[in-house]
Amino acid sequence: MANKFIIATAPHMHSPLSTQSLMRDVIVALMPALVVSALVYGLSVLYVTAIAVVSCVLVEFLIQKYLIKGASTLGNLSAVVTGLLLAFNLPANIPWWIIVIGAVVAIGVAKMTFGGLGHNPFNPALVGRVFLLIAYPVQMTSFPEIEPVVGGIVDTFSGATPLAAVKSGALSVVDANLGSMFGGFTGGSMGELSAAALLAGGLYMLWRRVITWHIPVAVLGSMAAFAFIVALMQGGGAELYALPAFHLMAGGAMLGAIFMATDYVTSPMTPKGMLIYGVGIGVITMIIRLWGAYPEGMSFAILLMNAVTPLINKYVKPRRFGVITAKK
């Protein structure tokens, strides 16, 4: 017989999806924010991003080859995504060695220690960022002044981010330039600048079905609702709408809700679980922002909810076909 018969159990078709294709889509979705950041802060953005990506990839490669002694896992591009996300959480003027330390912590400690992609309980990029934030608070929170690369329409903030300014009482949310925050011309970490660019990336990922709407909507929705209630209790007025809008666009809200919280490995598996997880992130973020010591709480909130994810997975089950719970 000329033919060799190949035998396998059904299904015999496979979707075009692969881990690599999903990660590639995430990278594409991150590009608008990177471009905005580069336009605002200049070439140093690309420099920081390149160092972060290269060091993440290198750390993963070395650990996989010499400690785990397994086949290379670089092909799944997850190290590139981690590198990009780590870079997005850094100021554009950060020294190169801090980036490398961040990469070692993100990939080496938060990811490969647990066995690599799929096994890490916490979002690697966020672990890296939080480590740097605690270890190098000065470098991590002093942002360069904005170089108005694009024309003169830029509303310059020197140094402090809107969140820090509001925290210290230097700025009232009603006075914050929301349009500028949406567009991306207010200070902050590289990836946090433009809510619009991040939203565009999020829409792309939704369209490509990389993520579902549950987590971003739950995070942003609960943040807005929380801010609205707080403003209501403080007497309303102009803050009633300004406070929610400000918090949605300030700091890492968009980046966190769209790219960080939706990390596959560390987020729940069921739609219901995703909503619980998202609301948890939103509420914790707002509590830290309003009453905590740090101006921004997104990273902490996501890491805290990452820790809850296994519990959510255990107790929150999907809707089973044909099982009517109302009967019980």
Binder among 80, 86, 117, 275 for other proteins (CB under 8 A): 117
**Distance of alpha carbon 167 from alpha carbon 78, whole angstroms:** 35
Angle at which helix 271-291 crosses helix 298-315, to 10 degrees, equals 150
Smallest separation, CB 182 to other proteins (Å): 30
Binder among 134, 315, 321, 326 for other proteins (CB under 8 A): 321
For 169, 271, 281, 283, the CA distances from 304, given in Å and listed in that order, are 27, 19, 8, 11
323 is a site residue for other proteins (CB under 8 A): yes
Interaction residues for other proteins, span 147-206 (CB under 8 A): none
Q: Are 179 and 23 in contact (CB under 8 A)?
A: no
Tokens of 47: 């420099």
For 33, 67, 102, 132, 154, the CA distances from 96, given in Å and listed in that order, are 21, 25, 10, 12, 28
Least Cα distance to 259 among 307, 223, 299 occurs for 299
Residue 21 or 141 with smaller CB distance to other proteins: 21
For 38, 83, 123, the CA distances from 47, given in Å and listed in that order, are 10, 12, 23
Q: Are 129 and 89 in contact (CB under 8 A)?
A: yes
124 is a site residue for other proteins (CB under 8 A): no
DSSP letter, residue 160: S
Chain position carrying tokens 């609702």: 225
Residue 11 or 152 with smaller CB distance to other proteins: 11
Smallest separation, CB 39 to other proteins (Å): 32
Q: What are phi and psi of 69, to 5 degrees?
A: 55, 45
Binder among 128, 268, 278, 280 for other proteins (CB under 8 A): 268
Binder among 134, 293, 324, 326 for other proteins (CB under 8 A): 324
Residue 124 or 297 with smaller CB distance to other proteins: 124
Stretch that binds other proteins, among 111-119, 126-134, 217-225, 251-259 (CB under 8 A): 111-119
Tokens of 103: 């990469």
281 is a site residue for other proteins (CB under 8 A): no
Residue 65 or 317 with smaller CB distance to other proteins: 317
Residue 192 or 263 with smaller CB distance to other proteins: 263
Residue 69 or 320 with smaller CB distance to other proteins: 320
311 is a site residue for other proteins (CB under 8 A): no
Interaction residues for other proteins, span 20-59 (CB under 8 A): 21-22
Binding mask 64-93 for other proteins (x = CB under 8 A): ---------x--x-x---------------
Binder among 65, 178, 269, 279 for other proteins (CB under 8 A): 269
For 160, 227, 253, the CA distances from 278, given in Å and listed in that order, are 28, 15, 12
Work out whether the CA dihedral 23, 50, 146, 166 comes out positive or negative: positive
Binder among 113, 212, 237, 238 for other proteins (CB under 8 A): 212
Binder among 137, 179, 236, 318 for other proteins (CB under 8 A): 318
Residues lying near other proteins in the complex (CB under 8 A) are found at 2-15, 17-19, 21-22, 73, 76, 78, 116-119, 212, 264-265, 267-271, 274, 313, 317-324
